[in-house]
Structure 1
Amino acid sequence: MDKQTAIYVTLNWIAVFLYVVATTANVAGIIFSKRTLEQRSYWPAAAALVVHGAAIGHWWRIVGHGPYMAPSEVLSSDAWVTMAAFMVFIRIYPRIRPASILVFPATFLMLALANMYNPGIRSLPTTFGSVWLIFHIAFYKIALATLVIAFAFSVFVLLKQRQCQAEWLNKLPDTNTVDLYAYRFAGFGFIFWAIAMLAGSIWAYRSWGRYWGWDPVETWSLLTWLLFGVYLHLRHFFRWDGQRAAWFYIACFLISLVSIFITSHMGSSIHAEYFK
């Protein structure tokens, strides 16, 4: 391992350590009603975000392209955007802070998994040289962040409707408010996902001469977007809420994970060529 790669890996593991510290303090603070501990958990989380961002920037300078080629780059940038977006959203919507109990672990697990891959330098194909690719990737990552938050609130809905509730759940807003946050952030994710697909189709036309080719990544992405559309449609027009809406959203979320993390590695997908 050369010196520059060693610096990148070291920064990533420092970020993982800080995320773990933040997660431990955050989860303990929420579950055991230690408000001070929960609030202070954001300090190591913010420090981790800075170190993590420095690692991404350092690697970007070395390889000469953004974090969207190797699996390690994709997972790392997904983790960073998820945490960064959450930090922004809690400034706008302070009542979503309890979602950190799932957002924090998701972030450090994605980064820890990224560190398991070989961060070898991948050359950038000429077809990647487009601003539409930046929009395509960035909006998928933002969509993922919002969908993780909606997932957290969908889980909260299920937990709050159990007969025997954990005491910390009483600290959450009422069930209707929790359900509403799940609905709203799912709507955010639906919009960002749509923009990502549209940007991707324009990029595909400039790269391969066609807007749509029923590639596995494209097909699964469209299927996922349609399912989230069905979820929103059922909620708005058929007044779905509570447990059935939460379970339906969780199913959609699991499919979105397949779309984002698995389909790009299918051998029949043209996208797989960029991740070898």
Structure 2
Amino acid sequence: MLTEFALYSDRLFMAAVGVYVLAMVLHGAEYAVQRSAKGVLVGAGGPAVETDAPPPDAPPRDGSGPGRAERYGRMGVSLVVLGAVLQAASIVLRGLAAQRWPLGNMYEFTSAICLAAVVAWLVVLRRSPASRPMGLFVLLPVVILLFLGGTVLYAPAAPVMPALQSYWLVVHVTTVSIASGLLMVPGVASLLFLLRRSGKLEGFAERLPSADALDRLAYRITIIAFPLYTFAIMAGAIWAEAAWGRFWGWDPKETVAFVAWVIYAAYLHARATAGWRSGPAAWVNVAGFAAVIFNLFFINMVVSGLHSYAGLG
């Protein structure tokens, strides 16, 4: 039975990745159709062009339903929901197969982070449907991370070593997974904000939400994720005292986690400071997201430290 749970978990994981890829394709099609529609109506640098033909993303003239872009977007969101359900089921079955909390290695940790990012994105869409053109760019890092998790980082379902058999595994690693996943969305939003604000690739970025909307989105999610990330670091320190006899030892992973915390604290401060509120603050937010990703992969996989044996966040 446990072997079957592990097999079904792996298959559901692969199915979720496939569904996310299809969702990316549909969001890409939505984005392309919207751009081409604008290109039909407005000449490159010229006046509006008179035409009797409706743009590709316009509703049908008989009122029978949404236009192509709208349909592609809705289908993409539906697939993201399906992918999240499949991925959540994969994580649950993984825990049943290993008979433990399913966050015991990098494969499981990466899957949890990506699920948190997807759920956060769906909540954003629920509250702000106009943000949907971001879907392609939010799903891109999710698909990349899941591909790495299912190939390079994959580990068979198995019990964890005694040092990790603690309830702090549930508290610390779950919290840091959720916080890291949440921070993925504002990281992408800040990157798109900088692209939108720079004026470069204007034709490519014109279908994105406005720069102000992207900036607000990044800030609002970060102020939710930052307290969770803070709690995760505190919980990790308490676990370290129980496991290693000290709260803090400047282990490489601890150090980079603290650096990321300082960067995000600086972002929240910069966001409330005149002169830093827009572009400079967004760069700080991007730096914080880069630190989180660096800590997740480089520190876990390359640098030797007390956390290396666990492959955990």
Q: TM-score, normalised by structure 2?
A: 0.79
Q: Which has the higher helix share?
A: 1
Tell me which residue corresponds to 1:103.
Answer: 138
Q: Please identify, of 53-62 and 7-16, the stretch whose mean Cα deviation from structure 2 is larger.
A: 7-16
Stretch deviating more after TM superposition (102-111 or 156-165)? 156-165
Q: Which residue of 2 aligns with 1:71?
A: 106
Letter aligned with residue 236 of structure 1: A
Q: For 1:186 and 1:11, how far apart are their aligned partners in 2?
A: 30
Residue aligning to 2:51: none
Structure 1 residue 18: Cα displacement: 0.8
Over 6 Å off, 4+ runs: none
1:12-31 equivalence runs, <5 A: 12-31=13-32
Taking the aligned partners of 2:303 and 2:282, their CA distance within structure 1 comes to 33
Quick one: structure 1 residues 151 and 65, their matched pair in 2 at CA, closer, same or farther if it must change by over 3 Å?
Answer: same
Quote the offset at 1:78 in angstroms.
1.7
Segment of structure 1 superposing worse, 195-204 or 185-194: 185-194
Following superposition, the deviation at residue 69 of structure 1 comes to 1.9
Determine what percentage of the aligned residue pairs are the same residue: 25
Larger Rg: 2
What is the identity, as a one-letter code, of the residue corresponding to 1:257? I
State which of 64, 86, 95 in structure 1 corresponds to 2:121: 86
Q: 1:54 aligns with which of 54, 64, 89?
A: 89
Paired with 1:97 and 1:191, the residues of 2 have a C-alpha distance of 26
TM-score, normalisation: structure 1: 0.88
In the alignment, the residues of structure 1 paired with residue 117 and residue 255 of structure 2 have an alpha-carbon distance, to the nearest angstrom, of 24
For the pair 1:10 / 2:45, whether they are aligned, the reply is no
What SS is found at the alignment partner of 2:292?
A: helix
Shift of 1:261: 2.4
In structure 2, the CA distance between the partners of 1:265 and 1:223, relative to structure 1 (3 Å rule), is same
Pick closer, same or farther for the CA change 1:162–1:267 going to 2, 3 Å: closer
**Can you give the 5+ residue segments of structure 2 that lack an aligned partner in the other structure?**
35-68
Q: Gaps (5+ residues) in structure 1?
A: none
Task: Give the conservation status (yes or no) of the 8 Å contact 2:19–2:79.
Answer: yes
- The match for 1:214 among 247, 250, 272 is 250
Q: Is residue 2:273 matched to residue 1:237?
A: yes
**Closer/same/farther in 2, CA of residues 124 and 134 from structure 1, 3 Å limit:** same
Distance (whole Å) between structure 2 residues aligned to residue 260 and residue 70 of structure 1: 11
One-letter amino acid of the structure 1 residue matched with residue 140 of structure 2? P
For residue 172 of structure 1, report the CA deviation from its aligned partner. Answer: 4.1
Give distance in 2, aligned partners of 1:212 and 1:124: 23
Q: For residue 39 of structure 1, what is the amino acid of its counterpart?
A: R
Whether the 8 Å contact between 1:150 and 1:185 is mirrored in structure 2 is yes
1:122-156 Cα shifts (integer Å, max 9, x gaps): 43233434443322122222222222211222122
Can you list the C-alpha shifts for 1:8-58, whole angstroms capped at 9, x where unaligned?
A: 322221111111111110122134221221111111211111222222111
Partners of 1:103 and 1:172 lie apart in 2 by 12
Separation in structure 1 between the aligned mates of residue 116 and residue 212 of structure 2, nearest angstrom? 28
Change (3 A) 1:41 1:259: same
Q: What pairs up with 1:55-204 in 2 under 5 angstroms?
A: 55-116=90-151, 117-163=153-199, 166-167=202-203, 169-204=205-240
Q: Give secondary structure in 2 for the equivalent of 1:269.
A: coil
